[in-house]
Structure 1
């Protein structure tokens, strides 16, 4: 006699016309038909998947009759976009797992073959890296196996590496593309698959859409796609770690201007990789720049995919992610904290207050991404002029995303370099930098408010290792002139104008609610095509609206936005008469509705407290009138 679960599986596998599965209701067994599309996907998964864990997960859901969950994970699919793939790990096409990685890499490989038909030599090699998350190495090996079996040279890192090492290696080896397996700062249950093109920048359209099409045309696993044994012996497999390591740190050393000062600084630095990949890489960066070793947060030093000491492994969260760093720094008399996110492409910085305020109260200032963008933008220009004093500023460029501070633009108006604003994401800044390089321009710095920074063009992406060492050298230089980071930031605001910003988000797990919020703002007070004209009963007037979902921009003569638009994402920017710029957007990788605000004042407007009060007043109004969190059930950031 077959056991209950076995009987269910027997009927599913051998009686496809019947398509029955047990559904328990009110404690009674009630046989109910399974949707034919779902049954087809169940059969398909059990045929294609060779991972015992995810296969058993599907079987268990079948045995328990949980077709709601089965429908969610089998009838939906993670869509390949400009961020590649990112999602929760688990069984099904809507999650990250071995089979989805195989299908994705088959589509990616097929697309590479198509674009290089006219020039086969162009598809010479692909770089693959991975972080320290669960399954990252496994996913990287599966991807390498598929490429090698199609006669593509693969540079697969032999150990975990920072994300920026992949775009750096693409340019170093002149590769066709690169893959980084990482979910960056996401929770521990997530993973991702990020793709770079031959220019070393993250892919943008049409590559993302074309890869998605090729994935859907190559869903059935190819012969030997599951067999990774070839990685042990194939001449097409190479470990790039040592060569990339040497070349990367050689580039860092070339940019160091104050090696003697670095060696003699009295500043003590504290560093945390937040259980990620960063420790050995930042250690080498400090050594290359001639610094004494930093103090490491021991509890977070080693890679750990469980991230046991932090609720969210994201230094962008500020003090909640840096508590152990504060404790370590206080114990060692350190005044500067540098933190990387788990894949080391972002960097956070905190500075001990000289006022001696209470520890964990106001004793530490965690700089926002916009504040660091101002400081590092100034430092980039300062260093560039020291190295290349004869360069005409008309050929020098800095960039920031549209949701980031406009400080670099204000500084450009005084210093004469060019400022470029791009869409959100380093994919846009990296590709724009590549275009400017081809025109013979000098791109010296780019940043995004989400603590992402790009120095020069050795890496056309955010790089938390190079950014960390630039911060350290800037701190040492300022200390030699009896200045702190806070002192210098105040000096910059005095010279170029205060730029007061505050960014945050709400959690929303229902895409239809987020869409409803934005549609209401596009049809305000039930008037189609009308946006809010003021805030707080006319207290603050709106003078400009840009909608990068529809392509509308009230500030342009033809009312058409200059930046690229996307109907698949929500993004609205309001410009107010008093200088506030507020952007509302949905996240592409997380269930977040984000808001970004900045009040830009002229250098003559020096009453910082008045500016702060105005900003807080307007943010409160934007939340209450535009987002309506209580009406829409939005969950505030903790």
Structure 2
């Protein structure tokens, strides 16, 4: 946490009387009680100290949150390893210091701050309050701050950073995580989430200035400082106008009889999805009343993650049946992801996977581009996906002549690469990650559930005019470009040494520095290890993708056409697996492909994870 000198105004005699006998812990306790001005989180630490709960204190105070997926994400509560008022102030001070070093015009260009609707009574912690403190740190240092006057979708922050020419931005959100969590998502001046080395340098800056500065706690500056501007109307209007650039059939939308149900999962999405449908000429989608308004307790769902499928979409599906709406669109609580369900002729609902939706989006965005750009050079066109996502875009690209690229997992890599392509005169139509994150067009260099929702509505409307459903079109895409059957799931593991042991065993499988050559009866052609930078498919055995030592990820390419990846989550205690059977066009025996994929997954678990099964809890994804 860095050496910050003597404690402030805490009574030293009281602290000595409560000494834990551990000098490092005592110092951390002194620092917390000196610096924290949130009465509820301060009392949590005082209570632990009074009750002699030294191990709990050590867990909370003797380690610091580190930057993960483009920022911070953790439970809300007291302690340097949690999200709270103090750790957000410290993080913002570090960001201020880093940006001041990198931009001579930082104060004039400004900084964007947005937030969702999360909150926790027990720690007096809410996204809005954390956003105000973020702004206060910067306003106290005479930085222009664009602070949204109400909650917004996460995509509005990176969009605003670019539109307003700001040097960076922060969104306070934990996206679709459980209600106890919150996060601090950081965007660079290019409108993409920060990547290395910015994250590491920001951490260093945080550690250099952990004691709150004068003014850092003054959240009233948001209401009184002339340097605070509200960008809400300008950004919302501009976003909706830019959205129409990817609207291709407004005349069909205006006349459409197709009805849609939308659920915002108790988050921020309702108002903005309504506006997006209006921008495309649609009648507004029917909202799920129980989930329309923000609710930090997410009271109608066990998990506020639409990626979980039909079990969490129950209210929206029942409403759709009642209203005779054939398509349900679901945005997660911060509206950057999208789930889609469609009622089939037999009355059952098909909930599309992220990879299936990507096949539809990829076909749609390319076919619309082709119709509108008949004289354009297809070799200048790009689509992107993360390396753990379906390879269906690669198959489409091979037939249609455009470029397909892979990035490391996470939209921070996609956003940065897309910006680089755009700066070099390339045209990017679509990008995605399998966890229902989609980027249609390039107005926002991040995943965006609002734009994806209205694009899928226009696609469904167009297909209805062709007497096709989304599901039928998906089959047509697979028959044209080759079936891509994928399955993703995960194991919970709360023991970091076990996770490390699993991956180290794979790196020394048949001996030191020897990866497996087979998985049961399935021969392995290539192994790529992003953690170490190894790739057996390359002549020099070095991965083309950047090395990511902070996470574990190994990909196996099998002789039968399957690609499988094992990786750790950047935000949760999970070992995830991603497996896909990629068939050539013309092979339509889907059931055989699915059976073969399932057998390979079973072999993967048995041979690569079985020795540590007692430490793993399987969850269906």
Q: TM-score range by the shorter chain?
A: over 0.9
Partner of 1:58: 45
Residues 458-515 of structure 1: CA deviation (Å, up to 9, x unaligned): 1000000000000000000000000001111111111100000000111111111111
C-alpha distance in structure 1 between counterparts of 2:368 and 2:175, whole Å: 30
Partner of residue 532 from structure 1, selected from 511, 516, 529: 516
The yes-or-no answer on 1:579 pairing with 2:570 is: no
Residues 136-178 of structure 1: CA deviation (Å, up to 9, x unaligned): 0000000111111111111100000000000111111111111
The yes-or-no answer on 1:78 pairing with 2:77 is: no
Partner of 1:628: 610
Partner of residue 571 from structure 2, selected from 583, 589, 608: 589
Aligned to 2:598, the other structure's residue is in SS state helix
Distance change (3 Å), C-alpha of 1:84 and 1:559: same
Contact 1:353–1:364 (8 Å) recurs in 2: yes
Contact 2:18–2:50 (8 Å) recurs in 1: no
Aligned to 1:431, the other structure's residue is in SS state helix
Partner of 1:98: 85
Partner of 2:544: 562
Report deviation, 1:332. 1.1
Task: Kindly report which structure 2 residues correspond to 1:415-430, keeping only aligned pairs within 5 A, or say none.
Answer: 415-430=400-415
Distance change (3 Å), C-alpha of 1:161 and 1:16: closer
Contact 1:475–1:485 (8 Å) recurs in 2: yes
Residues 410-445 of structure 1: CA deviation (Å, up to 9, x unaligned): 110100000011000110010001101111000110
Aligned to 2:428, the other structure's residue is in SS state strand
C-alpha distance in structure 1 between counterparts of 2:349 and 2:311, whole Å: 12
Task: Kindly report which structure 2 residues correspond to 1:186-335, keeping only aligned pairs within 5 A, or say none.
Answer: 186-335=177-326
Partner of residue 385 from structure 1, selected from 370, 376, 380: 370
Residues 46-99 of structure 1: CA deviation (Å, up to 9, x unaligned): 001000000000011011111111000100110124420000000000000000
Partner of 1:160: 151
Distance change (3 Å), C-alpha of 1:209 and 1:506: same
Partner of 1:350: 341
- Stretches of structure 2 lacking an aligned partner (at least 5 in a row): 1-9, 120-125
Residues 363-400 of structure 1: CA deviation (Å, up to 9, x unaligned): 11110000000100111111112222211011000000
C-alpha distance in structure 2 between counterparts of 1:369 and 1:169, whole Å: 26
The yes-or-no answer on 1:472 pairing with 2:454 is: no
Partner of 2:381: 396
C-alpha distance in structure 2 between counterparts of 1:121 and 1:162, whole Å: 25
C-alpha distance in structure 2 between counterparts of 1:431 and 1:568, whole Å: 19
Partner of 2:472: 487
Partner of 2:122: none
C-alpha distance in structure 1 between counterparts of 2:15 and 2:298, whole Å: 44
Contact 1:12–1:19 (8 Å) recurs in 2: no
Partner of 1:14: 13
Q: Which has the larger radius of gyration?
A: 1
C-alpha distance in structure 2 between counterparts of 1:542 and 1:36, whole Å: 52
Partner of 1:26: none
Report deviation, 1:534. 1.3
Partner of 2:6: none
Contact 2:69–2:410 (8 Å) recurs in 1: no
C-alpha distance in structure 1 between counterparts of 2:108 and 2:608, whole Å: 49
Report deviation, 1:617. 0.6
Report deviation, 1:457. 1.1
Q: TM-score, normalising length from structure 1?
A: 0.93
Partner of 1:448: 433
C-alpha distance in structure 2 between counterparts of 1:423 and 1:98, whole Å: 32
Contact 1:551–1:561 (8 Å) recurs in 2: yes
Distance change (3 Å), C-alpha of 1:148 and 1:50: same
Residues 520-569 of structure 1: CA deviation (Å, up to 9, x unaligned): 111114x1111121122xx2110100001111111011111110112221
Contact 1:265–1:480 (8 Å) recurs in 2: no
Contact 1:629–1:635 (8 Å) recurs in 2: no
Task: Kindly report which structure 2 residues correspond to 1:169-180, keeping only aligned pairs within 5 A, or say none.
Answer: 169-180=160-171
C-alpha distance in structure 2 between counterparts of 1:425 and 1:121, whole Å: 27
Report deviation, 1:230. 2.1
Report deviation, 1:210. 0.8
Aligned to 1:192, the other structure's residue is in SS state strand
Contact 1:122–1:176 (8 Å) recurs in 2: no
Report deviation, 1:320. 1.8
C-alpha distance in structure 1 between counterparts of 2:245 and 2:559, whole Å: 45
Report deviation, 1:120. 2.7
C-alpha distance in structure 2 between counterparts of 1:436 and 1:424, whole Å: 18
Distance change (3 Å), C-alpha of 1:629 and 1:165: farther
Bigger mean CA offset, 261-270 vs 207-216: 261-270
Contact 2:106–2:167 (8 Å) recurs in 1: no
- Stretches of structure 1 lacking an aligned partner (at least 5 in a row): 1-10, 21-32, 357-362
Aligned to 2:313, the other structure's residue is in SS state helix
Report deviation, 1:288. 1.0
The yes-or-no answer on 1:126 pairing with 2:108 is: no
Residues 232-268 of structure 1: CA deviation (Å, up to 9, x unaligned): 2211101100000110000112321111211222211
Bigger mean CA offset, 584-593 vs 223-232: 223-232
Partner of 1:616: 598
CA-atom RMSD in angstroms: 1.4
Bigger mean CA offset, 386-395 vs 507-516: 386-395
Contact 2:365–2:430 (8 Å) recurs in 1: yes
Report deviation, 1:229. 2.2
Contact 2:106–2:143 (8 Å) recurs in 1: no
Aligned to 1:477, the other structure's residue is in SS state helix
Partner of residue 138 from structure 2, selected from 147, 158, 161: 147
The yes-or-no answer on 1:600 pairing with 2:582 is: yes
